[in-house]
Amino acid sequence: MGYDPKNPMEGRISDLGPRYYGDFLPPVIKENKGKWLYHEILEPGVLVHVSETGAKVFTVRCGSPRLVSVNYVRDICDIADKHCDGFVRFTTRNNIEFMVDAFEKVAPLKETIKSYGNKFPIGGTGAGVTNVVHTQGWIHCHTPATDASGPVKAVMDDLFEYFGSMTLPAQVRIALACCLNMCGAVHASDIAILGVHRKPPMIDHARITGVCELPLAIASCPLGAVKPAKAIVNGEEIKSVQINAERCMFCGNCYTMCPALPMADAEGDGIAILVGGKVSNARSAPKFSKLVVPFLPNTTPRWPETVECVRQILVAYEKDAKKYERLGEWAERISWEKFFEKTGLPFTEKSIDDYRLAYDTWRTSTQFKYTSHTAAYTNK
Amino acid sequence: MATIEHKGKSYEVDEDGFLLKGADEWDENWVDYVKGVEGIAEITDEHQKVIDALQEYYKKNGIAPMVRILSKTTGFPLKRIYELFPSGPGKGACKMAGLPKPTGCV
């Protein structure tokens, strides 16, 4: 029975939840679930897991742009049908994984994958740069300060060699969020690309009464910059808000709550770069990423400044870090002043925390290293 | 922005069918219109109680009540509110009561 708009609840099925994951496991995974002994990375993008029963499963990992068409998914299904009995999975970084149960099946699978050109690049394993976790951007969201798919494509084009190789000291996780809602992994990634605004919101007094719950807009401000105020619209006094531009740091929270406070701006908006976050507990505790570049412009369609900056950080890290050392661990070991010197990034006052718990991020020690950055102050 | 005509009266609405001018344009006729789009057969006393509670709270506080407050003031558990308004307290009841469209990450 088709959906009947006159009787929306008629024959309605709800609260089924997702399908049980066990229904989609390849037989070799199902049979050896919970029995895996060890695994190896045979080459970039190809893994083997060995079970205590002696069974093996070979996994070929491919990059994906995350935002894909149904035709693209059908291509994935064709490959899975041809080589993997119709089974396939996606990783938590939106890579595609094809699995086969014998070594002889790996080469033909790779050949089929490669026959699609660069549609399904093989890689993303070990100490390399895997897929970029990213968000909606100008494709679909209404609060972004930058695009998501565009910069991700530009950055991954530039770093493509690192996707299909494992030559870095440790894995480097790059993430992008198009505003500081930080949907995704930006706050805890080795290199994070973040959309930022630089101008306070505009107030649309004419619309605000009908579309906005004023107390929500006021409470949404982390700095108390939004205040209730009266405004005159068509000679009539209405309730509205007032924004103290001196206090505003352009987070955009008030626009999220109130559609009458738009703040996107072509020249004002751009990208900030954060580095040094991680989520694993390996060797050191999880870390938040820290702001190192406060602003890069939105230069569509290739974001050359952002691409160059990410590469600059990655290359300095690749050259200098020890094996297994994540980017944040490296920066903390050599000290952040050395990080800025080695990457060649200028240090700005924007990197100095000034929000509530800021004090703990300042240096309460005489321990530091002389660098080109300290020289700028000591030579005065 | 679109305009909706219902029984000889016109309302200014956004693309999701929420009243753009809120209480200024809201009337019983609007309830009758939303009833049709939301798949509600008849406005009962229970529906009216939810609408009244929403409007009273909005008038007093300038925001829509949190779901738990709506449940507490009306005495209806969330399940019952969904039975009354199949689209839920936000898209269903708030729309019918003429409150602004819910915002945030919804």
| Average pLDDT estimate for A43-47 | 97
pLDDT in tens, B47-79: 999 999 999 999 999 999 999 999 999 999 999
Contact across the interface for B61 and A5, Cβ inside 8 Å: no
Of B61, B103, B104, the CB nearest to A215: B61
B104 and A211 within 8 Å at the Cβ level: the answer is: no
Interface of A with B in 1-60 (CB under 8 A): 5-9
pTM, to two decimals = 0.93
Beta bridge partners, A227, equal: A242
Query: Would you place residue B34 in the very low, low, confident or very high pLDDT band (cuts 50, 70, 90)?
Result: very high
Chain A CB within 8 Å of residue B20 CB: yes
| ipTM rounded to 2 decimals | 0.92
- Residue B38: pLDDT band (50, 70, 90) is confident
Is the sign of the CA dihedral A326, A331, A333, A338 positive or negative? Answer: positive
* Statement: residue B106 has pLDDT above 80: no
Cβ proximity of B40 and B95 under 8 Å: no
B19 touches chain A (CB under 8 A): yes
Catalytic site includes residue B105: yes
Cβ–Cβ below 8 Å for B22 and A210: yes
What pLDDT is attached to residue A4? 86
Tell me how far apart the alpha carbons of residues A355 and A366 are, in angstroms, rounded to a whole number: 23
Closest residue of chain A to B62, computed from CA coordinates: A213
Residue A379 has pLDDT above 70, yes or no: no
Single-letter residue type at A358: A
The alpha carbon of A222 is separated from its chain's Cα centroid by a whole number of angstroms, namely 23
Q: What is the crossing angle of helices A106-114 and A70-83, to 10°?
A: 150
- Listed in sequence order, the DSSP H helices in chain A are 27-31, 70-83, 106-114, 149-158, 160-163, 205-211, 214-219, 253-257, 304-320, 327-334, 336-343, 372-378
Contacts of A8 in chain B (CB under 8 A): 39, 86
Tell me, what's the pLDDT at A131?
97
Q: Taking CA atoms, what residue in B is nearest to A256? A: B104
- With CB atoms and an 8 Å threshold, state whether B62 touches A6: no
Choose, from B1, B41, B105, B106, the residue flagged as catalytic. B105
Task: Provide the pLDDT confidence category of residue A264 given band limits of 50, 70 and 90.
Answer: very high
**Residue A377: pLDDT above 70?**
no
Please give, rounded to a whole number of angstroms, the shortest distance from the CA of B64 to a CA of chain A.
Answer: 8
* Residue at token pair 């009306």: B74
Distance spanning both ends of chain B, measured CA to CA: 22
Determine contact: A211 vs chain B, CB below 8 A: yes
- Between the alpha carbon of residue A191 and those of residues A128, A179, A233, A251, A279, the distances in Å are 13, 16, 47, 20, 13
A207 to chain B, closest Cα gap in Å? 8
CB pairs under 8 A between A and B: 46
pLDDT category at A30 given cuts 50, 70, 90 is very high
**Cβ-nearest to B19 among A210, A214, A257:** A210
How far away is chain B from the Cα of A317, in angstroms, using its nearest Cα?
36
- Binning pLDDT at 50, 70 and 90, where does residue A103 land? very high
Q: Does B9 touch chain A (CB under 8 A)?
A: no
pLDDT value, residue A302? 97
pLDDT band at A337 (very low <50, low <70, confident <90, very high): very high
pLDDT digit string, tens, across residues A72-89: 999 999 999 999 999 999
